[in-house]
Amino acid sequence: MKGLSKFKEIISSLNLSPDQWHFIKVTLICVLVWPFFHFWESLDLWLSETLLHSTRHTIGFITGTTPSAFEKPETCIFVMKDYRASLLIGKQCNGKVLYFMLIAFIFAIPNRTWKTKLWWSLSGFLLVFIINILRIVGLFFIAKSIPDWFDAFHHSIFQIFMYVVIFAIWLLYLAKSATKQ
């Protein structure tokens, strides 16, 4: 207990503003929650399966032919293929890190109501999920049509685009939720 009281004494001597305290609390919560979130296999599986099936049905809607899919646990989560292309969909593709970053930032901003934070978290999650589906659909068509460009789109262009989307949602959240306070 002596160590805890010494820690509290040091922290209270910092003279931080309420906003700084809020940011520190949310940062500590994120650091403590991340390991559980990161290694939660059922969340990974649900996100990956939902992403796979949504992507397959979107491609089927566009082309009239739904690509086949099967699980391949030794190398990745799923493989989606048709007669001209195949696409490995691994855990990293499900966007879990993006969702965590988005929601953590939304909850890190003080002076917003819980209702506002929850609404922006859910709608932001849904928007990023839909854009991630479109990203994988785009990658599938790039793999079919111009496979030489696949790596550039997969590792650079689409990743930068996803981070720009997250940043835009954050900016909208700051602008819209501040005006309603």
128 within some domain: yes
Q: Which domain holds residue 37?
A: 17-64+93-179
56 within some domain: yes
110 within some domain: yes
37 within some domain: yes
DSSP annotation string for 48-104: HHHHHHHHHHHHHHHHS-PPEEEE-TTT-SEEEE-SS-EEEE-GGGG-HHHHHHHHH
Q: Could you read off the pLDDT tens digit of each residue along the chain, which spans 181 residues?
A: 576 677 667 777 777 777 777 777 777 777 777 777 666 777 777 888 888 889 889 988 988 888 887 777 655 566 767 777 777 777 777 888 888 888 888 887 777 888 888 999 999 999 999 999 999 899 989 988 888 998 899 889 999 999 999 999 988 988 876 655 5
Provide the domain count of the chain: 1
Distance CA 134, CA 55 (A): 7
132 within some domain: yes
167 within some domain: yes
25 within some domain: yes
Tell me the CA end-to-end span of the chain in Å, nearest whole number: 40
Q: What is the pTM of this model?
A: 0.77
